[in-house]
């Protein structure tokens, strides 16, 4: 199954206690594609400015990602500046320059409007709505968002949520969005707005799946090297949605497996800055690490 992904293609300036990068390749659609391209055919829709170096995404093209939907507009590429302390679970946004996104109106070409899977990466919710208006009978629609839009565009964001099948959101943002402290209650509230499936990302601690009435917890893998968590959420989503697309199966066991694939991809992403680690990654490394996840969380039935 193929996936249409709409989101930001960006230059990020990021500082963590382990180093920093200036205007390195980033963006929700970029990190998502770097991850999902291991599992499925992708069509990326986005916008960049005249300063964007197409060679930065050559590795995505090599993996078969269709980048024809990336428009080049007058002006500068979206630029995000953020930093992290030793708690790498929370990003502090220092600057957000929407630049070419200010006048962007995503257009899904006619031949892609019936693509079975749609991933709405983190961009302005009004743009996400425009995309939803253009697609025809998708099997799976998935939404990602962030605090920036929860605090500035709540009503529009709620409209988008009511129209998708699945929401992927991080823990703090789920609480902010629903004004609930307990994650189960927060997830149930989001489900009551429309989506059958909610995934709550918990940074290094893993992720929770709320699938109709079922709950499943995927662990986070304890890592030796963590340098930059930017894009972990998007590469997690890339693993989840990419795996579902590869299997073309949307039952509970497949969703559970998809969370493990997502956690695996996120665990690689944080090992280096920008998209570097996913750029160098191999399928063999992915399957070896999936095995580690199984060892980490498997135990025999406990009888007392
Ligand atoms: P995450 O996976 O949540 O760490 O997402 C990181 C990516 O989101 C970065 O590469 C940023 O370029 C991108 N980003 C940050 N803020 C925004 C925003 N307001 N709209 C769209 N993309 C953003």
Inform me whether the pLDDT recorded for 91 exceeds 90. Answer: no
Inform me whether the pLDDT recorded for 107 exceeds 90. Answer: yes
**Rounded to two decimals, what is the model's pTM?**
0.96
CA distance 245 to 138: 12
230 pocket-lining for ligand 1 (C-beta < 6 Å): yes
Q: What is the pLDDT of residue 89?
A: 82
104 pocket-lining for ligand 1 (C-beta < 6 Å): no
Tell me which DSSP letter residue 204 carries. Answer: G
Residue with CA nearest ligand 1 atom 13: 27
- Identify which of 122, 142, 144 to mutate to test ligand 1's pocket (most ligand atoms within 8 A of the CB): 122
233 pocket-lining for ligand 1 (C-beta < 6 Å): yes
Q: Residues 57-60: contacts with CB within 8 Å, 24+ apart? A: 57/9, 57/25, 57/30, 59/34, 59/275, 59/279, 60/30, 60/33, 60/34
Confidence of residue 294 (pLDDT cuts 50, 70, 90): very high
Residue with CA nearest ligand 1 atom 12: 27
Indicate the average pLDDT of the chain.
96
Tell me which DSSP letter residue 261 carries. Answer: H
Q: Which residues pair with 49 in a beta bridge?
A: 73
Confidence of residue 218 (pLDDT cuts 50, 70, 90): very high
21 pocket-lining for ligand 1 (C-beta < 6 Å): no
- The set of residues, in sequence order, having a beta carbon less than 8 Å from that of 229 and lying 6+ positions away, is 16, 84, 88, 89, 91, 203, 269, 270
CA distance 250 to 166: 11
Q: What is the pLDDT of residue 299?
A: 92
Q: How far is the CA of 121 from the centre of ligand 1 (A)?
A: 9
Q: How far is the CA of 92 from the centre of ligand 1 (A)?
A: 11
Q: How far is the CA of 269 from the centre of ligand 1 (A)?
A: 14
Tell me which DSSP letter residue 168 carries. Answer: E
Structure tokens at 138: 């998708």
Q: Convert the pLDDT of each residue in 16-66 to its tens digit.
A: 999 999 999 999 999 999 999 999 999 999 999 999 999 999 999 999 999
Tell me which DSSP letter residue 112 carries. Answer: G
- Domains of the chain, with CATH numbers? 2-297 (3.40.1190.20)
Q: Convert the pLDDT of each residue in 121-171 to its tens digit.
A: 999 999 999 999 999 999 999 999 999 999 999 999 999 999 999 999 999
Residues above pLDDT 70, as percent of the chain: 100
């Amino acid at each position: 199954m193929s996936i249409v992904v709409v989101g930001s293609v960006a230059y990020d300036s990021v500082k963590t206690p382990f180093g920093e990068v200036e205007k390195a390749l980033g963006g929700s659609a970029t990190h998502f594609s770097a991850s999902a391209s291991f599992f499925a055919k992708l069509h990326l829709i986005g916008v960049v400015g005249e300063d964007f170096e197409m060679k930065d995404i050559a590795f995505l093209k090599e993996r078969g990602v269709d980048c024809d939907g990336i428009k080049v507009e007058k002006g500068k590429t979206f630029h995000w500046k953020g930093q992290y302390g030793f708690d790498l679970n929370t990003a502090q946004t220092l600057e957000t320059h929407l630049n070419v996104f200010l006048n962007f109106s995503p257009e899904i070409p006619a031949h892609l409007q019936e693509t079975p899977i749609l991933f709405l990466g983190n961009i302005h919710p009004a743009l996400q709505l425009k995309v939803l208006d253009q697609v025809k009978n998708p099997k799976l629609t998935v939404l990602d968002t962030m605090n920036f839009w929860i605090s500035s565009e709540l009503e529009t964001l709620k409209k988008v949520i009511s129209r998708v099948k699945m929401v992927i959101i991080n823990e703090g943002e789920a609480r902010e969005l629903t004004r609930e402290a307990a994650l189960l209650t927060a997830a149930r509230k989001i489900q009551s707005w429309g989506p059958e499936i909610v995934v709550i990302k918990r940074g290094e601690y893993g992720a929770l799946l709320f699938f109709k009435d079922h709950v499943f917890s995927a662990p986070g893998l304890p890592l030796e090297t963590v340098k930059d968590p930017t894009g972990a959420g998007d590469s997690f989503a890339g693993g989840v949605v990419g795996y579902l697309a590869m299997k073309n199966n949307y039952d509970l066991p497949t969703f559970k497996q998809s969370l493990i694939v997502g956690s695996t991809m996120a665990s690689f992403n944080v090992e280096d800055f920008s998209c570097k680690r996913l750029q160098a990654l191999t399928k063999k490394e992915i399957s070896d690490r999936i095995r580690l996840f199984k060892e980490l969380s498997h135990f025999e039935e406990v009888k007392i």
